Amino acid sequence: MLGKWLRENKYAAGFLLFIRLYIGYEWLTHGWQKLTGGFTAEGFLNNAITKPVIDKATNELVYPTFTAFIEHFALPNVKIINFLIPLGEFLVGLGLILGALTTAAAFFGLLMNFMFMFAGTVNTNPWFILIGGILFLAGANTGRFGLDYYLMPYLRKLFTHKKDDANRTAGTGTNHTPAHA
């Protein structure tokens, strides 16, 4: 019931607009500060390796594959990570503020927050996950009062035409005959 209201109701879209603008501003400013302030993730990544999330009862790593990812991929490629994190934060914020590809922006915001939490950072990440989760669950209604209102019908039409063209070239057409007929 609540999910349907979030995904379809115009008043929910108005409510989501304010949430979207708030969290979008937070993402945008964090990303911009990192883009313009000489950000480096090297210290954060090293800390995630030297002080990983450990189960206090068993003294074992809680996220061993993520720690291995940081140690064997992220840290050796820190220059790429130093570019991707600020750019990703900025683009998530921009998408949410403009209401453009909002479901994708919310998804990638959630992905980044979970990665920060897997590395042991709590900070504002749970709050961002809660808000991002609401925006993601609301789907296209999140961008109803934004560029998605114009963008999504165009993208649906574009991808539907490509699917129809692929079916025609494969000889299947768009009219399907039931197998039992």
Mean pLDDT, the chain cut into blocks of 10 residues (181 residues total): 89 95 96 94 93 92 94 96 96 97 96 91 86 93 92 89 66 54 49
Is the pTM higher than 0.75? The answer reads: yes
Q: According to the model, what pLDDT value does residue 122 have? A: 78
Q: Which residues contact 93 (CB under 8 A, 6 or more apart)?
A: 24, 25, 26, 27, 28, 29, 30, 31
Q: pLDDT tens digits for 60-113?
A: 999 999 999 999 999 999 999 999 999 999 999 999 999 999 999 999 999 999
What per-residue confidence (pLDDT) applies to 14? 94
128's tokens: 């961002």
Q: How much is the pLDDT for 146?
A: 94
